[in-house]
């Protein structure tokens, strides 16, 4: 019996909760404590019980469970070797707030509250023990508080994402309505020349209004739209290299292989006004498509690789060109796929905007000259 008491005293003395107690206090506690075992599924303490005994897990694992209104039990947390149970009840003398059910064979040290009352110098020993347990309770309460705070933050984030997704759904519906409206205007012959800058800018304004509203309502930072310093120069250098590589075969085609245009063939005008207005046109399109649409698709679809975001963005972007004909839809779809992956790589709007702009200029030059 003395050997068991000594082993219990050594185990208690090595535990952080009891480490600050004097050897005399630990020995006094160990003198009335005993080792106990629990089989898997056995209740070590029962919810609502009035017993205030204290337990220290030496080995094994258990779950703290609480009964639900429908008669089932809800697992609150796991209990493992080295954990104490019953501290709060031991401190305030109340009823057990939860049950503890063994999940594996458990070995425990049981400190009976009633037996502590009968030892010599009981008030001092119990007072020291309660002081040690109070620090454990405070530490656990702080941990639970942090977990609850993290849980509340997570719930707020989920609620925010739900609200934002609702706005985003309205935004995408608005874009398709704009696309349908533009196509209807052309089909009904209200628009004589779809390539007229006036009509193009009307289409861009129609796209810009809902985009700006969504950016403002969802409070999307500029960095999330790809407007950032990070990666700016790398994006610029890579895009310039791509543009040079694309320009070389286009120049060769224009100089040596392009057939002469017929006298009545439609032609584009490439002048300073075209270059400036098309640059602004491109910036608005890329902020709305790559910065906003593609970024939000990645967010709401949890699309870490971005393939689905690129495909959906390209589909919507191409639909906005229905008024310009099926050829324009096909070209813009595949061009948007390229722009999307360039943006995925660079994470900066500068590069993809320059690429979009330069490809448009080359196409206009190829038609004009």
The confidence score (pLDDT) of residue 369 equals 67
pLDDT of residue 261: 57
* Alpha helices (H) along 253-325: 272-286, 295-300, 307-319
267: pLDDT confidence band, cut at 50, 70 and 90?
Answer: low
Q: Which tens digits make up the pLDDT trace of 137-169?
A: 777 777 766 767 777 788 777 777 778 888 888
Q: What is the pLDDT of residue 193?
A: 67
Token duo for residue 310: 């690129």
Q: Residue 102's pLDDT band (boundaries 50, 70, 90)?
A: very high
Residue 280 reports pLDDT greater than 70: yes
For residue 76, the model assigns a pLDDT of: 83
Give me the pLDDT at residue 313, please.
93
Q: Which two tokens stand for residue 86?
A: 């019953």
96, 53 in Cβ contact below 8 A? no
Adjacency order of strands within the sheet including 54-59: 34-38, 106-111, 54-59, 84-85
Residue 265 pLDDT more than 60?
A: no
Spell out the domain ranges in the chain: 2-120, 155-368
Q: Could you tell me if 317 and 236 are in contact, meaning their C-beta atoms sit under 8 angstroms apart?
A: no
Residue 327's pLDDT band, with cuts at 50, 70 and 90, is confident
Report whether CATH 2.60.40.1180 matches the domain 2-120. Answer: no
State how far the Cα of 310 lies from the Cα of 338, in Å rounded to an integer.
9
Higher per-residue pLDDT: 68 or 243:
243
pLDDT at 291 over 60: yes
Q: What is the mean pLDDT of residues 294-315?
A: 92
For residue 130, give Cα distances in angstroms to 17, 55, 71, 189, 330: 10, 14, 34, 88, 76
Collapsed DSSP state (helix, strand, coil) of residue 183: helix
Of the segments 179-183, 311-315, 364-368, which one has the largest average pLDDT value? 311-315
pLDDT band at 290 (very low <50, low <70, confident <90, very high): very high
pLDDT of residue 195: 67
121-143 tens-digit pLDDT? 888 888 888 888 887 777 777 77
* pLDDT tens digits along 78-96: 888 888 888 888 887 778 8
Question: To 10 degrees, what angle do helices 326-346 and 307-319 make?
Answer: 150
The answer, yes or no, to whether residue 26 has pLDDT greater than 90, is no
Count other Cβ atoms within 10 Å, centred on residue 118.
9
**N residues, the chain:** 369
Q: In angstroms, rounded to a whole number, what is the distance separating the alpha carbons of residues 342 and 352?
A: 6
């Amino acid at each position: 019996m003395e050997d068991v008491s000594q082993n219990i005293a050594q185990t208690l003395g090595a535990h952080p909760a009891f480490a600050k107690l004097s050897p005399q206090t630990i020995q006094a506690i160990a003198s009335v404590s005993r080792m106990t075992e629990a089989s898997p599924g056995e209740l070590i303490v029962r919810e609502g019980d009035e017993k205030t005994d204290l337990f220290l897990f030496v080995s094994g694992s258990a779950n703290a469970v609480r009964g639900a209104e429908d008669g089932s039990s809800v697992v609150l947390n796991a209990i493992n070797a080295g954990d104490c149970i019953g501290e709060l009840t031991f401190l305030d003398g109340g009823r057990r707030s939860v049950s503890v059910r063994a999940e594996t064979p458990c070995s425990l040290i049981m400190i009976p509250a009633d037996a502590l009352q009968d030892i010599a110098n009981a008030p001092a020993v119990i007072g020291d023990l309660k002081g040690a347990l109070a620090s454990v309770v405070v530490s656990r309460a702080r941990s639970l508080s942090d977990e609850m705070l993290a849980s509340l933050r997570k719930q707020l984030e989920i609620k925010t994402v739900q609200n934002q997704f609702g706005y985003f759904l309205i935004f995408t519906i608005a874009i398709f309505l704009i696309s349908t409206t533009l196509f209807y205007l052309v089909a009904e012959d209200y628009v004589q020349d779809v390539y007229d800058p006036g009509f193009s800018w009307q289409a861009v304004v129609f796209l810009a209004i809902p985009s700006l509203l969504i950016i403002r309502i969802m409070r999307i930072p500029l960095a999330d739209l790809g407007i950032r310093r990070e990666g700016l120069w790398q994006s610029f250098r890579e895009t310039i290299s791509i543009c040079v590589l694309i320009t070389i075969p286009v120049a060769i085609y224009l100089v040596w292989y392009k057939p002469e245009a017929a006298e009545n063939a439609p032609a584009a005008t490439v002048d300073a006004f075209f270059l400036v207005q098309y640059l602004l046109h491109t910036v608005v399109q890329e902020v709305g498509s790559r910065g906003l649409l593609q970024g939000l698709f990645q967010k709401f679809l949890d699309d870490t690789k971005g393939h689905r975001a690129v495909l959906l963005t390209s589909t919507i972007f191409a639909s906005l060109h229905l008024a310009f004909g099926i050829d324009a839809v096909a070209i813009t779809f595949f061009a948007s796929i390229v722009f999307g992956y360039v943006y995925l790589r660079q994470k900066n709007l500068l590069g993809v905007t320059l690429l979009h702009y330069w490809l448009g200029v080359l196409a206009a030059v190829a038609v004009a000259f």
